[in-house]
C-alpha cells in the first residue's frame, strides 16, 4: 500500500492537495473528519464542525489519540493507494505508519490571511475565533507534533498552478524513493 498523509492547519489547502493527488496519480482520497462524522451520526449528532470537534475529543478519550486514524484505516486497508487528508495528531500518523507499507507525510501550509480568506460558512467570521482553532489543534490534539513528522512541506499561498507544481515535485520524489 502507498499512503500519503496530509497534515496542516485549517484552510491551508489539504483537501485541494488531496484532490489533485487523487485525480492525477490515482489515489483514493479519504478525509479523517468524514469518519468522525459517520460516528457522530451513528450517535445521533448533527455533523457540524463544532460537533465533529466534540466527537473527535470523545473518540480520543474512548479509544486513544489515534482514534480518527483507526476509523479511517478500516476503509484505507481496502485500497492500494490512499491520500488521507487532515491528520491532527502524531498518534494518528504513527498508527497509520504501523499499518501501511510506504508512507509519506506532507504538511500543507498557508499564510494566516490566505487561510482566513478561504473559510466557509461553518467557520467563524471573527479572526480571533477562527485562529482559536489553531491553538486547540496545535496543543490539545497535537497538530504541532504531527506537522513535525512531515517529510515534505507544500506552501499554498500562490496560484493553483504553483501548488500543482509543488505537488508534482513531491510525488516525483515519492515514486523515485521506492
Give tens-digit pLDDT for 64-123.
Answer: 999 999 999 999 999 999 999 999 999 999 999 999 978 999 999 999 999 999 998 888
DSSP 3-state assignment of 46? coil
DSSP 3-state assignment of 123? coil
Backbone angles phi, psi at 131, to 5 degrees: -80, -10
Q: What is the pLDDT of residues 33-58, one digit of tens each?
A: 999 999 999 999 999 888 988 899 89
Q: Which residue carries 520524489 as its cell?
A: 173
**Which residues constitute the domain of residue 10?**
2-176
Element of type H or E holding 14:
helix 14-25
> Residue 12 belongs to a domain with what CATH number?
3.40.50.300
Rounded to whole angstroms, the Cα distance separating 38 from 177 reads 35
- The number of folded domains in the chain is 1
> What pTM, to 2 d.p., does this model score?
0.93
Amino acid at each position: 500500500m502507498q499512503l500519503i498523509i496530509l497534515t496542516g492547519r485549517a484552510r491551508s489547502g489539504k483537501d485541494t492537495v488531496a484532490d489533485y493527488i487523487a485525480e492525477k496519480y490515482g489515489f483514493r482520497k479519504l478525509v479523517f473528519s468524514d469518519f468522525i462524522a459517520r460516528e457522530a451520526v451513528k450517535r445521533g449528532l448533527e455533523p457540524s464542525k463544532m460537533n465533529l470537534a466534540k466527537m473527535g475529543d470523545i473518540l480520543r478519550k474512548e479509544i486513544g489519540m489515534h482514534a480518527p486514524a483507526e476509523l479511517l484505516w478500516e476503509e484505507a486497508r481496502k485500497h492500494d493507494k490512499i491520500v488521507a487528508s487532515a491528520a491532527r495528531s502524531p498518534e494518528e500518523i504513527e498508527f497509520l505508519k504501523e499499518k501501511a507499507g510506504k508512507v509519506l507525510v506532507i504538511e500543507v501550509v498557508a499564510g494566516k490571511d490566505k487561510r482566513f480568506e478561504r473559510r466557509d460558512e461553518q467557520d467563524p467570521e471573527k479572526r480571533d475565533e477562527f485562529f482559536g482553532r489553531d491553538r486547540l489543534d496545535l496543543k490539545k490534539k497535537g497538530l504541532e507534533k504531527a506537522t513535525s513528522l512531515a517529510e515534505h512541506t507544500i506552501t499554498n499561498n500562490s496560484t493553483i498552478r504553483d501548488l500543482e507544481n509543488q505537488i508534482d515535485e513531491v510525488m516525483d520524489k515519492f515514486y523515485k524513493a521506492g
